Amino acid sequence: MDAKELFNQTSLECSRLITQRYSTSFTLGIRTLDKKFHLPIYAIYGFVRFADEIVDTFHDQDKEGLLERFKKDTFEAIQSGFSINPVLQSFQLIVNQYQIDPELIHAFLHSMEMDLDFKKYNDSRYTEYIYGSAEVVGLMCLKVFCGDNAPLYDKLADPARKLGAAFQKVNFLRDIKSDFEERGRVYFPGVDYRFFDLTIKKQIEEDIQRDFDDAQIGIEQLPEGAKLGVRVAYLYYQKLFDKIKSLSAEVIRQQRIRIPNSQKLSLLVGTFFETKLGIS
């Protein structure tokens, strides 16, 4: 392995480490993908994770300046095919290898900018935010899964967007307490956190379930090497969603809902054998 290959491999391994440290559920899901997809999906996750950290975590820093620099460095890395930043180096490798549309990256970073100047969202702003923060991430991953099979990508693009939207909306419900108390955010249009009740919760859940239903059709049509991993992520989020649905609005307002790691592992093993045995 020459020095350039070593740097590229080390950069990709950095993105793997970021994923493992920040998300047990996504790490478990990625491990059930075909091995050829592991590093590309780690690279995408590492990129979106660090951008999200800029707007959500570094409160003592100039977030706007950091994000603007991150955005500039991202597109310079993609254009030049190089960055000394290992997260951007691994990301640009995958963007250029799989020809990921720059519009998806622009949309994602735009949603991160929206978080910096958060105002209560109306329907159009909410849709815009969901697209950029979640749906395009699903499309980036789909591009990796489909490779040069453009017709399959086009066919599965809408279900991939729906799956990303479902995941994000479940996160919004799960994190409604911390988003409001720590960041002053309630993403759902027209929802006042102080008056979040069962009626509002049910309306949100019905919208999320429609996204899950529309997404499920696409999962079964994914390439074999990708199907199991995406199905695990789908079932994990469905299980989390089911837990949220079983709880009162008051409980959701008081605590963040989690699935214990032991249950995540059990779900992974169960889904693996169901898929291998052809059990749906």
Tell me the mean pLDDT in the region 236-255.
Answer: 91
CATH value at residue 154: 1.10.600.10
pLDDT at 279 over 70: no
By the 8 A CB rule, do 234 and 267 touch? no
- Residue type at position 7: F
| Highest-confidence segment of 128-137, 179-188, 234-243 | 128-137
Q: Which helix (H) or strand (E) holds 260?
A: none
With a pLDDT cut of 90, the percent of the chain lying above it is: 68
Chain center to CA of 244: 19
Q: What is the b/e burial string over 67-87, where b = at least 16 CB atoms within 10 angstroms of the residue's CB?
A: beebbebbbebbeeebbebbb
Give the chain's radius of gyration (CA, Å).
19
What are the pLDDT digits (tens) for 202-245? 999 999 999 999 999 999 999 989 998 898 888 888 888 999 99
Higher pLDDT, 64 or 269: 64
How far, in Å, CA of 253 to CA of 15, rounded?
Answer: 33
Q: How many domains does the chain have?
A: 1
- Tokens representing 167 are 């995941």
Region 26-40: what's the mean pLDDT?
Answer: 90
Least confident span in 10-14, 22-26, 102-106, 212-216 = 22-26
User: What is the b/e burial string over 222-255, where b = at least 16 CB atoms within 10 angstroms of the residue's CB?
Assistant: beeebbbbbbbbbbbbbebbeebeeeebeebbee
Amino acid of residue 197 = D
Q: What's the one-letter identity of residue 80?
A: S
Q: Which is it for the CA torsion 30, 35, 37, 42, positive or negative?
A: positive
CA distance 37 to 211: 25
Q: Residue 162's domain spans which residues?
A: 3-277
- Of the two residues 30 and 69, the one the predictor is more confident about is 69
